[in-house]
Amino acid sequence: MTTKRNRVLKVFLLLLVLAVFVEGGARLWLGRFASEEQFARIASYRLLTIRYGEPPLDIHRTLAYTGVANVTRGASEHNALGWRGHSIEMPKPEGLFRIVAIGGSATYGAAVADDAEAYPALLAAELARQGYPQVEVINAGMLEYSSWETLLNFEFRVLDLEPDLVLVQAGVEDIAARLVWPSAAYRGDNSGYLLPPQPFRPPGWERSAALRWVAVALGQAQPYYDLTAKWRLRAETAYDLTLLEQARQGTYPAGIFQETPLAAMLAANLPIYFMNNLEGLARVAQVNDVPVVFITSPAYGWFGGQPEISAALQAALDEHNQIVAGLATTLDMGLFNLADTLPAEAAYYAGGTNLSAAGNAEWARQLAEFLVAEGWLP
């Protein structure tokens, strides 16, 4: 009897020690040896925020989220409106020419840590150098904003600033919004892609690095990849994260994409809402006497080893850029074709659609030239 109990106890202790070792090993590997990408894939939300900090986002009544207001982190600052950069003077001072740049991660400058290296700040500096010191450029872009949020941002927040010119870049984030299946879930209110804001409570077992590793490896848990996940909880019908995971693991096409390849999904979910949103933005700008310059979105070096995926994504982005160009022409708005003019060189990019400091600088330089040459400035 006692021997039997001892044996059970021994097995239990052995398992316990083993579990501790596995967990310890997983943590050690994750913390010390895993690459940045492996860490982003496996780490729990908590570990991610410990390493990178909470994303500088906060809940918003109308846009679901916007930037945290009044914070400074290193060389990055958010003003009272939660946007990247210094505080904004309201009402607009006499004689000031106010440009507001709106868009998603590229406008925000997701890949540059210093506010001064994002294109809106560089544009202001460039224009000041060229003899336009009265021009102010506000960065009202926000991480991961698609055309939906950009439209609402413009209508309900940017108009309050009395802009003299609005620079609009949209296209990249709207690709993910089309990766919704079944197609009936692809709707004008984006509800098939993103859920309403709700408390974000990662499951308790996430605290174990080993369990999280196993769950991610078995496809039972979604990698976070980026910390905006908390503010952009996906609907059950959204497949952008599934695609990202398959692209990174080289397992594409698997699961949903076996039946409906990426190109077929994009072909079923045409960018009608992207067009609606930007057309709406343009018309609202018109009746408020705000001139608009649309900017197309460049990309370079999407998932290098996955030609099928990168070709489909690039085709979707080209399609969006064509819509932007078409709207600019039919509605008589400005068009700055960055997708064509930014050289396809690795130095300008920070992976896919995000631009490096050099990319932002080149963007600002070209855009300043364009605005001056085309007579958009006073």
Partner 1 sequence: MRASADSITYNKGSGIDRYPFLHYHSAMKLKTLVANLMLALVSTVLTLGVAEVAARVYLTQFAPERVFNRYASLAQLTARYGRPRFVSHRYLGFIPAPDFNNGLNRHNALGFRGEEIAQPKPAGVFRIVAIGGSTTYSAGVEDYRLSYPYLLQEELRTAGYEQVEVINAGVFSYSSLENLMNFQLRVLELDPDLVIVYEGVNEIATRLIWPYSFYRGDLSGFENRRLSFEPPWWEHSTLVRATLVYLRQTEPHSSLQRNFMEATGAFLGNNFVTQKLDGSYPSGPFERRSAAEILATNQPIYYERNLRALIAIAAGRGIDVLLVSFVHSPEFPEEPRAWAEEYMAAYAEQNAILAALAAETGAAFYDLAASMPTDKHYFTDGIHFSAQGNALRVEFLSEYLIATGLLP
Contact status, residue 143 vs residue 57, Cβ threshold 8 Å: yes
User: Which listed range, 133-141, 155-163, 203-211, 339-347, lies at the site for partner 1 (CB under 8 A)?
Assistant: 155-163
The sheet with strand 97-102 has its strands ordered as 135-139, 97-102, 165-169, 292-295, 334-336
Size of the site for partner 1 (CB under 8 A): 34
Q: Is 327 in the site for partner 1 (CB under 8 A)?
A: no
Site for partner 1 in 53-82 (CB under 8 A): 59-64
Residues 6+ apart with CB under 8 A from 356: 111, 112, 347, 348, 349, 350
Q: What is the dihedral of CA 159, 117, 57, 147, to 10 degrees?
A: 50
Distance CA 87, CA 251 (A): 46
> Judged by CB under 8 A, does residue 183 bind partner 1?
no
The single residue among 77, 162, 240, 279 that binds partner 1, judged by CB under 8 A, is 279
Give the 3-state secondary structure of residue 322.
Answer: helix
Among 195, 217, 254, 311, contact with partner 1 (rule: CB under 8 A): 195
Which of 286, 337, 341, 356 touches partner 1 by CB under 8 A? 286
The single residue among 100, 137, 165, 194 that binds partner 1, judged by CB under 8 A, is: 194
Residue 156 CB, nearest distance to partner 1 (Å)?
Answer: 4
Query: Which span sits near partner 1 by CB under 8 A: 10-18, 120-128, 173-181, 273-281?
Result: 273-281
> Least distance to partner 1 from the beta carbon of 59, Å?
6
Which residues make up the interface to partner 1 (CB under 8 A)? 59-64, 148, 151-152, 155-157, 159-160, 187-191, 194-199, 276-277, 279-280, 283-284, 286-288
